[in-house]
Amino acid sequence: MSNITYYNLSTEGNKFLTPHFQVHEFADPSDYVNVSYPEDIPIHDKLPAVLEKVFEHFGCTKGIINSGYRSPDADIDVGGSGSGPHTLGIAADVYFYKGSEPVPSRLVACYLKDEGIKGIGLNCGGNPNGTHIDMRGFGVWNDSVWYGDEAVRNGGIYKTVSDFYSYTGTTKAEVYPDGDTPSTPSAPHDNVRNDYTTSTRMVDIVKTYEGFSPKAVRLTGEDEYTIGYGHYGSDVHAGDTITEAEATELLERDLKVFESAVKNAVKVDITQSQFDALVSLSYNIGTGAFAGSDTVKSLNNGEPGHAAVDIPSWRRGMGYQILPGLEKRRQTELEFFAVGVDFTITDCMNVRTGAGTNYPVKTVSQLTANGRECAVDKSASAQAVFKSGTEITALEVKAVYSAQRIDVWFRCPSGWICARQGDEVFVN
């Protein structure tokens, strides 16, 4: 499963990935006006959580990302190689502040190494208050470790540092003034999933799909009453009323139950967006049905593709009736779960111009350069058919529903691939 999520700067730029860091802070196209820069930017799923952990540990009031994602052209524009960690979306150069006072890079670097972070640049850009942080070793560049001092170059290469404490003369008491010194280096961010809470964006989406009921109502076939944004149970009685503010507070409290259900059921690492999707699904179908779902079973079996395409299956309401409202909700959850994730196709697959078999198959000449390399027949005029085992990144997803079956399509840079056709699944 990918460790990278793509975010659209126009539509998701203001999204908070943690309480103190938003999507747009990880990219600034205005810094690179003379080079190409994409609208969709990659961010390593654990990077924002690492920055937030530093922010909280040092009691910061502000964190400034001086440089996050760079396109290859932008990286070259500032003197980089065009293929470094910033171009992968796994790096950030950051300044932390307590009030008007900066937190020295030497303190941040020592703390990060204690936390098991494997890519750390002391004195980023030659500034004693700037720190380079990258997530190598967390699903990207797994064999790579780099600790350096960016204020010192030897033959154009930054000085390597093995121990930030001795190198900078920093004491443990400076880094851990409250005495919470770790006994051994750790890498807690392998389980950042356990720190997730439902994003504000998903809370708003759940509210939209549930709808607001200011009075208690008993839905057809239900034993108990429902009120607010889908709150159901024996604590709701005929004649009860609720305000929107009270309903929102009740929803956020209810979601904690379903957040715990996701964390207890899912045994593998997932992204924030996937967590959001699963919380929404669990809230809608119930914790028992969620825990026993093929979505959860496939995830835990290391089959994220099967997990993704199972989500649209939950489209039936009382009496096993197909409900368009549920199909629409499943589409939203599918998007949260699969967009930006890497999948491997498990059969030779046509590349089409749209999501459905009614769209024509592309020719090889219409594929991207990388796509042409994955074609079974590389002749320009040949039909575009990707080889089994080709890895694709889902940039867009679509569930195509009919009364008889569900098809799921993923759009990669070259075109649309069928991920599921009825009961057959073609991605993992």
Sequence-distant (6+) residues with CB within 8 A of 105 are 122, 123, 124, 127, 128, 129, 130, 131
b vs e for 4-42, b when ≥16 Cβ sit within 10 Å of the residue's Cβ? bbbbebeebeebebbebbbbbbbbbbeebeebebeeebb
Sequence-distant (6+) residues with CB within 8 A of 320 are none
CB atoms within 10 A of CB 185: 10
Residue 59, token pair as written in the block: 């009691």
The kind and range of the H/E element at 407 are strand 406-412
Query: Which stretches of 33-74 are assigned E, i.e. beta strand?
Result: 40-44, 62-67
Mark whether 39 is an active-site residue.
no
CB atoms within 10 A of CB 129: 20
In the three-class reduction of DSSP (H, G, I as helix; E, B as strand; rest coil), residue 148 is classed as: strand
d(CA 89, CA 7): 11
Residue 247, token pair as written in the block: 């309903």
Catalytic residue among 52, 150, 210, 259: 210
Q: Cβ(332)–Cβ(384) under 8 Å? A: no
Residues forming the active site: 210
